[in-house]
Amino acid sequence: MTNDGSTTLEGTPNPEAPNPQLPIVQKLRIRYAKRGRMRFTSHRDFGRAFERAIRRSGLPIGFSSGYTPHPKISYAGASPTGAASEAEFLEIGLTRALDPVEVQQALNDALPEGLDVIDVVVSPGGPLADLLQASNWRIQLPDVQVEDAKSAVSKFLDLEEVIVERMMKRGLRSINTRAAVIRLAVEEETDEDGYAILDLVVRHDTPSVRPDDVITGLRNLCGLPIEKAPLATRSNQGPLDEQTGSVGDPLASDRDAP
Amino acid sequence: MPVDSLYPRLEPLLSGVSKPIQYIGGELNSSVKDWDSADVRWALMYPDAYEVGLPNQGVQILYEVLNERDGFLAERTYAVMADMEAVMREHGIAQFTVDGHRPVRSFDLFGLSFSTELGYTNMLTALDLAGIALHAKDRTEDDPIVVAGGHSAFNPEPIADFVDAAVAGDGEEVVLAISEVVREWKAEGKPGGRDEVLARLAASGGVYVPKFYDVTYLANGQIEAITPNRPGVPETVAKHTLMDLDKWPYPKKPLVPLAETVHERFSVEIFRGCTRGCRFCQAGMITRPVRERSIDTIGMMVDNGLRASGFSEVGLLSLSSADHSEIGEVAKQLGDRYEGTNTSLSLPSTRVDAFNITLANEFSRNGRRSGLTFAPEGGSDRMRKVINKMVSEDDLIRTVATAFSHGWRQVKLYFMCGLPTETDEDVLQIGELAKRVIDTGREVSGQRDIRCTVSIGGFVPKAHTPFQWAAQLDHETTDSRLRKLRESVQADKRYGRAIGFRYHDGKPGIVEGLLSRGDRRVGSVIEAVWRDGGRFDGWSEHFSYDRWATKAAEVLEPMGVDLDWFTTRERFEDEVLPWDHLDSGLDREWLWQDWQEAIDPDGAIEVEDCRWTPCFDCGVCPQMDLDIQIGPTGRELIPLSVV
């Protein structure tokens, strides 16, 4: 399985290579959700589940040639394990053109409940990842009062830098979470127990700033009284409108195309 | 009354543990039946981490067999990792099933499948987290009946204190039989309590209830006798043998996990049993007689399993898969069926002959020919005669020559160290064999990039084998032999990195030996080790030999025995062995004779395979009124249009 985002759907199969494969005739962009307990799937877990669902669905997925053929699936970005999402994206290459609606149905019949395909459009070509410039997160803060959340958020926004540390592959790294935050506010609506919910827009920088990092910054440097694990849901991901700070739909142009 | 799911309490804590995916369930083809619709409810456990336990065929089969029946329900549970154990203890969350997240204690039966004795400490963790008394004698009406199965259940004595019952052999039918007994007892209003239901199970002759047997010991530490202590309890308890595997094509709907696990494929058992007669091999002895699945059932199971799972790899499992009477046709026809579908087939065969290469070629039609595995097990011809692995060095060299001439570039060889009568010389011979393999490969292929990986496991004598009487080799000598072998190969610069070694030190094998051939006195050692923090003994990063050695000394010495007594001591012919009252069908006299023939000072005498030559009277068929079931059927796979 290749799911590091480096797989491309481009190129014609090399007939000289071992296991020559059929050419890709249609590329589809897919938006999917991770809901309920499926939020605990890691990116690799999702990749395996998706490949198996593709096989069960019988969709005419293309494969790479070579000794170990890989299905033509290209993952755009990854959501952190433990975070729910309504806006994850990938592309697949098919060897036969199909109606996107039919593909969505077939995938949903084959995927486990909670991993749900919510949109399928024909790709206009070009890199999907370039459109995924920012994410909108909704973060439930169990046991945190709205007033406490508001005060921490206003401190956060007043600061020039909010540096947190995170363990990464090459060791502990410092990240300025403030720089990536486009919007941070406490929602008017509370969770069912009356506790605070954050509305967060982060730009996709390198290293990427995760909702957890923002929460760490709020707790360590802005006095957010949080003990329990927050529940983050990515509600949207796409092109960033710098003027309004809003996140658009990366598939909008494809869907509206004639 | 419904039992509430623990999931709402668990979920907020999952962010704080590693790989939370292993605790959430939701696998494709898993099921959560309505609690109140079932009369009899099983919690099934594979006592290791989820990633190891989930693919286990035994648990998957029983889970499906039970859940298919109205009135029965089964859910699964696995050993939780240390971080999760701490979280559960802190928050008072009981051992739960991953299906319904129901507490294990609320089930009627708690069945554990032991493929290895090294899962015993994990059983204690699960019992303790479940809130079930560790000792069977302390359990109440509110506790499930704890039943052990799997290969280790052929000597359940070391866990006799902790289990209410043990079952040896194939589980498909007996799990239903046990369920019926429990259903009836519950329907009658549980007359006589736990004792009564256990007595009914024991009276069936196929369920061993340790507490209905008394063990007495001689002054020299040996067992004097194991005798039933109440009427209606049989002297010996028989193993279960499923006949006609075609009627039981499980798993039909394999569980497909979200988490990554140790086997990412759909496996079909193509036969049970083995008649090769390798004297060290417990699996080969206790699963007799051979019973094959027919080619058409195999073809149907592969098709259904792939469709139901989406796996891209199929494994054809058995103890010696190349021995299936129609394996050539199975390989060819499955190869034809899945050609061009990016589905790979694998055969865990370790048979050392040219036919194996034909099969391997068939299974690698569209793929790379990288590595082949053979299991000569013994380094010298003499050693292989002792263990009855009938393959000569010249056979092996001829086989690898064929492999290399077909484009294979890497050979993996499995061996054991510490076999009866073994000397340093026998082990050094492993290196010589590996060198000859490299020489042959270089000559035949005309290339230098030939590799041979030598994997060596320490031999652990097991119950119900001809070597059950053997002295296990002490770990110091094991380590010294392996060191000498490594040095002798490394000293020869012509081979350099062409020969790789994989082995473990001898210490874990000694603990496995204690647990494999131990008696009831070993139970206190297991408990002491567990109380001292022993967990996941099959994992080298968690295993502590020192802990086991210390606790064994503390517990056993007052009883006049010790770790060596259980492991490196050769047993006597007339000695009562702790598992003598568990009937594997093998004739004890035949086993003893086979043991004597193995260690014959004039050279070992070999035993033929009863698949192809007349019966050698191991006793299984007559004693259990069975016969081997083999083909060929001459049938063909129906061509299928595959996706």
From A34, A121, A48, A126, select the one nearest A81 (Cα to Cα).
A34
Contacts of B86 (CB under 8 A, 6+ apart): none
When pLDDT is averaged across residues A22-51 and rounded to a whole number, the result is 95
Q: What are the tens digits of pLDDT across the range B91-132?
A: 999 999 999 999 999 999 999 999 999 999 999 999 999 999
Among the partner-chain residues B24, B306, B310, the one whose CB lies closest to the CB of A37 is B24
Flag if B26 and A37 touch (Cβ within 8 Å).
yes
Contact B161, B124 (CB under 8 A): no
List, in sequence order, every residue forming a beta bridge with A166; answer none if it has no partner: A173
End-to-end CA distance of chain B: 45
Hey, what CATH topology would domain B245-521+561-624 get?
Answer: pyruvate-formate lyase- activating enzyme (3.80.30)
> Cβ contacts (< 8 Å) between A48 and chain B: which residues?
258, 260, 264
Contact B41, B100 (CB under 8 A): no
Flag if A55 and B310 touch (Cβ within 8 Å).
yes
Reported as type and span, the H/E element at residue B44 is strand B40-49
Q: Report ipTM (2 d.p.).
A: 0.89
pLDDT at residue B369 is higher than 50 = yes
Q: What are the tens digits of pLDDT across the range B502-527?
A: 998 999 999 999 999 999 999 999 99
Provide the pLDDT for residue A2.
37
Among the partner-chain residues B28, B259, B366, the one whose CB lies closest to the CB of A45 is B259
When pLDDT is averaged across residues A140-160 and rounded to a whole number, the result is 96
CA B485 – CA B455 distance, rounded (Å):
12
> Which structure tokens are listed for A57?
């669905």
Cβ-based interface (< 8 Å): residues of A facing B: 18-19, 37-38, 40-42, 44-46, 48-49, 51-56, 58, 63, 67-69, 71, 81-82, 110, 112-114, 142, 228-229
Query: What is the pLDDT of chain A when averaged over all its residues?
Result: 90
Interface of B with A in 277-306 (CB under 8 A): 306
> Which structure tokens are listed for A150?
């508001």
Residues in chain A: 258
Domain range list for chain B = 7-234, 245-521+561-624
pLDDT at residue B585 is higher than 90 = yes
Provide the pLDDT for residue B390.
83
Q: Find the residue in B nearest to A109 (Cα).
A: B28
Contacts of A210 (CB under 8 A, 6+ apart): A80, A83
Tell me the percentage of chain B whose pLDDT exceeds 70. 98
Provide the pLDDT for residue A170.
83
Provide the pLDDT for residue A9.
62
Q: What are the tens digits of pLDDT across the range B25-70?
A: 999 999 999 999 999 999 999 999 999 999 999 999 999 999 999 9
CA B612 – CA B32 distance, rounded (Å):
46
Contact B150, B56 (CB under 8 A): no
> Which structure tokens are listed for B332?
């060819």
When pLDDT is averaged across residues A170-178 and rounded to a whole number, the result is 91
How close is the nearest chain B Cα to the Cα of A5, in Å?
19
pLDDT band at A257 (very low <50, low <70, confident <90, very high): low
Q: Three-state SS for A175?
A: strand
What are the CA-CA distances from residue A3 to residues A47, A75, A90, B118, B131 (Å)? 7, 6, 10, 36, 42
Provide the pLDDT for residue A5.
37
Helices (H), chain A: 43-57, 100-110, 146-158, 177-180, 211-222, 252-256
When pLDDT is averaged across residues A14-28 and rounded to a whole number, the result is 82
Residues in chain B: 643
Among the partner-chain residues A53, A82, A114, the one whose CB lies closest to the CB of B310 is A53
Provide the pLDDT for residue B280.
97
Compare A99 and B630 and report the one with higher pLDDT: A99
* Four-point Cα dihedral B588, B590, B591, B592, nearest 10: 90
From B611, B615, B616, B619, select the one nearest B585 (Cα to Cα).
B619
Q: Does B224 touch chain A (CB under 8 A)?
A: no
When pLDDT is averaged across residues B561-580 and rounded to a whole number, the result is 98
> Which structure tokens are listed for A206?
């390198």
How close is the nearest chain B Cα to the Cα of A23, in Å?
14
Provide the pLDDT for residue A10.
58
> Which structure tokens are listed for B429?
């011979």
Peptide bond between residue B251 and the one before it cis (omega within 30 degrees of 0): yes
Q: Find the residue in B nearest to A41 (Cα).
A: B21
State the number of CA atoms in the 13 A half-sphere of A258 facing the CB: 0
Check the CA dihedral B200-B206-B209-B215 and report its sign: positive
Provide the pLDDT for residue B642.
52
> Which structure tokens are listed for B487?
């040095």
Contact B256, B27 (CB under 8 A): yes
Tell me the backbone φ, ψ of residue B88, rounded to 5 degrees.
-65, -40
Interface test with A, best of B258, B261, B307, B344 (most A CBs within 10 A): B258
Q: What are the tens digits of pLDDT across the range A191-225?
A: 999 999 999 999 998 888 999 999 999 999 999 99
Q: What are the tens digits of pLDDT across the range B8-22?
A: 999 999 999 999 999
How close is the nearest chain A Cα to the Cα of B342, in Å?
7
Provide the pLDDT for residue A4.
38
Where on the phi/psi map is residue B464: left (φ > 0), alpha (ψ -120 to 50), or beta? left
Burial of A4 (0-12, 13-18, 19+ CB in 10 A): exposed
When pLDDT is averaged across residues B527-549 and rounded to a whole number, the result is 97
> Cβ contacts (< 8 Å) between B28 and chain A: which residues?
52, 112
From B358, B295, B356, select the one nearest B323 (Cα to Cα).
B356
Provide the pLDDT for residue B187.
97
CA B21 – CA A40 distance, rounded (Å):
5
Burial of B447 (0-12, 13-18, 19+ CB in 10 A): exposed
Where on the phi/psi map is residue B100: left (φ > 0), alpha (ψ -120 to 50), or beta? alpha
pLDDT at residue A88 is higher than 60 = yes
When pLDDT is averaged across residues B271-296 and rounded to a whole number, the result is 94
Flag if A37 and B11 touch (Cβ within 8 Å).
yes
A115-122 and A134-140 as β-strands: parallel, antiparallel, unpaired? unpaired
Q: Which residue has the tokens 């802005």?
A: A222
Q: pTM for this one?
A: 0.94
Flag if B20 and A82 touch (Cβ within 8 Å).
yes
Q: What are the tens digits of pLDDT across the range B389-443?
A: 888 999 899 999 998 998 888 999 999 999 999 999 999 999 999 999 999 999 9
Reported as type and span, the H/E element at residue A113 is none
Flag if B311 and A58 touch (Cβ within 8 Å).
no
List, in sequence order, every residue forming a beta bridge with A231; answer none if it has no partner: A140
> Cβ contacts (< 8 Å) between A18 and chain B: which residues?
366-368
CA B240 – CA B16 distance, rounded (Å):
44
Contact A218, A178 (CB under 8 A): no
Compare B627 and B572 and report the one with higher pLDDT: B572
Q: Does B16 touch chain A (CB under 8 A)?
A: yes
Q: What are the tens digits of pLDDT across the range B311-367?
A: 999 999 999 988 999 999 999 999 999 988 888 888 876 677 777 778 888 888 766
Lowest model confidence (mean pLDDT) among B72-81, B117-126, B166-175, B370-379: B370-379
Say which CATH class B7-234 falls into. Answer: alpha beta
Contact B566, B509 (CB under 8 A): no
> Which structure tokens are listed for A214?
């923002």
How close is the nearest chain B Cα to the Cα of A253, in Å?
33
B499-503 and B213-217 as β-strands: parallel, antiparallel, unpaired? unpaired
Contacts of B512 (CB under 8 A, 6+ apart): B116, B117, B118, B460
CA B544 – CA B405 distance, rounded (Å):
45
Flag if A228 and B20 touch (Cβ within 8 Å).
no
When pLDDT is averaged across residues B589-603 and rounded to a whole number, the result is 94
pLDDT at residue A105 is higher than 90 = yes
What are the CA-CA distances from residue B85 to residues B78, B106, B460 (Å)? 12, 19, 31
Query: What is the pLDDT of chain B when averaged over all its residues?
Result: 94
Flag if A52 and B309 touch (Cβ within 8 Å).
yes
Flag if A49 and B260 touch (Cβ within 8 Å).
no
